Amino acid sequence: MYEQGVIRPPSEASSLLIRVTRNCPWNQCLFCPAYKGVKFSKRTVEEVKKDIDSMADELGGTSGVRTAFLQDADSLILPMDDLIAILDHLQEKFPKIDRITTYARARTLSHKSVDDLKRLKQAGLTRIHTGMESGSEKVLQMIKKGMTPEEVVTGGTHVMEAGIELSEYIMPGVAGRALSEEHAIKTAELLNLIRPHFIRVRTFAMHPQSPMQKMVTEGNFVPLTDDEIVIEIRLLVNHLDSMHSYFSCNDFSLNLLMQVDGFLDEKKESMLKELDAYLSLTKRQRQVYTLLHYSGYGRNPLSVVIDQNVLDQVVPEIEKLERSGGEHGFDEYIRRLKTFQLPQPQTDQWC
Ligand code: SF4
């Protein structure tokens, strides 16, 4: 028997999940439902080692396991010696492991020296995933992220200098309408300073139970429409340097244009063209694209929304939503679809 947390990045789907802490030590970000209502605690090295032993007994230490992920939200908050003991034991029991990754908060990373992080790399830590969400101080304060842009840069550059792979997560839409432009530009500025290996896009979706919904009701936050989020992402990409960072929309289905994906130094221009191709569609075509995408349509919908046969089948569905829900009937339907409050419609009936 061993303990595991429920959250890991999509890229760690087949990794061993080693829980070194429980939940999140900060737990205040307004947009994040992940660990609300549960308390943070550190696990002892002995507890974690026992889990690793149980996994090795179950899977066989010489099994083909090649990757592991240390859970939960901020593993680097553990003392250095504890982390190194856990990394050593993990590799002793699973000698074929060649990738060990974890989540860490930027504030925690900013308190680690480059030498500390080099020690962790030496001990086997290969990649850190961290949520910066925004480069704007105003936005970070508004969403209660609990860190400053300076901490984001310090933490990120320390990881890069230590030679550990860095994956920065950003959140288009989370700034709302008032701060959208500042959010895009400041986020690009910080990423240009850090130059991480990966920039992973996690488009914000407002769940009705989210504390941010209260801000909407009180008139302090106006959520962006899908089209406004695409405009924000275009502004961000345009302000990013053509650096060797992998900009990825492809691993998160709430990103409307998942095909905007690739190394910035190779594909920045084609990514901008892809964003422009969407923005140059008619309103109806953009609605069809949006409906197809959030209904789980497998291919890039841009290739079919120009097909009159597809429009003839999907547009009447949109008109029905507008008739029954009024001016915002379609947008409300999409919002509920995105926050998993509705079953996905069958797209194969349309195209
Ligand atoms: S630090 Fe991460 S896990 Fe913790 S509340 Fe914020 S987003 Fe959620």
Which residue's alpha carbon is nearest to atom 5 within ligand 1?
27
- pLDDT for the residue numbered 166: 98
For residue 178, report the distance from its CA to the centre of ligand 1, in Å.
23
- pLDDT for the residue numbered 74: 97
Among 33-47, 60-74, 246-260, the minimum mean pLDDT is found in 60-74
Label the pairing between strands 41-42 and 21-22: antiparallel
For the CA of 27, the nearest atom of ligand 1: 5
CA–CA dist 284, 312 (Å, integer): 11
Q: Is 64 exposed, middle or buried (0-12, 13-18, 19+ CB in 10 A)?
A: exposed
- pLDDT for the residue numbered 64: 82
> Are residues 199 and 245 in contact, defined by beta-carbon separation less than 8 angstroms?
yes
For the CA of 105, the nearest atom of ligand 1: 1
For residue 294, report the distance from its CA to the centre of ligand 1, in Å.
25
Among 174-183, 204-213, 227-236, 260-269, the minimum mean pLDDT is found in 204-213
Ligand 1 within 6 A of CB of 129: no
- pLDDT for the residue numbered 347: 56
For the CA of 36, the nearest atom of ligand 1: 5
Q: Give the length of the chain.
A: 351
- pLDDT for the residue numbered 121: 98
Report long-range pairs for 55-63 (Cβ below 8 Å, ≥24 apart): 55/2, 55/16, 55/18, 55/93, 55/94, 56/93, 56/94, 59/16, 61/93, 61/94, 61/95, 62/95, 62/96, 63/94, 63/96
Among 104-113, 150-159, 181-190, 249-258, the minimum mean pLDDT is found in 249-258
For the CA of 72, the nearest atom of ligand 1: 3
- What percentage of the chain exceeds 70 in pLDDT? 97
| Mean pLDDT for the stretch of residues 211-230 | 92
Q: Is the pLDDT of residue 206 over 80?
A: yes
Contact residues for 68 (Cβ-Cβ < 8 A; gap 6+): 15, 16, 17, 18, 90, 94, 97, 99, 100, 101
Ligand 1 within 6 A of CB of 80: no
pLDDT in tens, 262-279: 999 999 999 999 999 999
Q: Sorting pLDDT into bands at 50, 70 and 90, what band is 23? A: very high
For residue 245, report the distance from its CA to the centre of ligand 1, in Å.
24
For residue 26, report the distance from its CA to the centre of ligand 1, in Å.
7
| Mean pLDDT for the stretch of residues 118-137 | 98
> Are residues 2 and 120 in contact, defined by beta-carbon separation less than 8 angstroms?
no
Which residue's alpha carbon is nearest to atom 4 within ligand 1?
27
Q: Mutate which of 21, 26, 30, 129 to test ligand 1's pocket (most atoms within 8 Å of Cβ)? A: 26
For residue 143, report the distance from its CA to the centre of ligand 1, in Å.
11
For residue 153, report the distance from its CA to the centre of ligand 1, in Å.
18
Higher pLDDT: 343 or 161? It is 161
Q: Sorting pLDDT into bands at 50, 70 and 90, what band is 351? A: low
Ligand 1 within 6 A of CB of 131: yes
Q: Is the pLDDT of residue 257 over 60?
A: yes
pLDDT in tens, 278-328: 999 999 999 999 999 998 887 778 888 888 888 998 999 999 999 988 878
Which residue's alpha carbon is nearest to atom 2 within ligand 1?
73
Ligand 1 within 6 A of CB of 34: yes
Q: Is the pLDDT of residue 124 over 80?
A: yes
Q: What is the mean pLDDT of the chain?
A: 93
Q: Mutate which of 23, 35, 133 to test ligand 1's pocket (most atoms within 8 Å of Cβ)? A: 35
pLDDT in tens, 134-178: 999 999 999 999 999 999 999 999 999 999 999 999 999 999 999
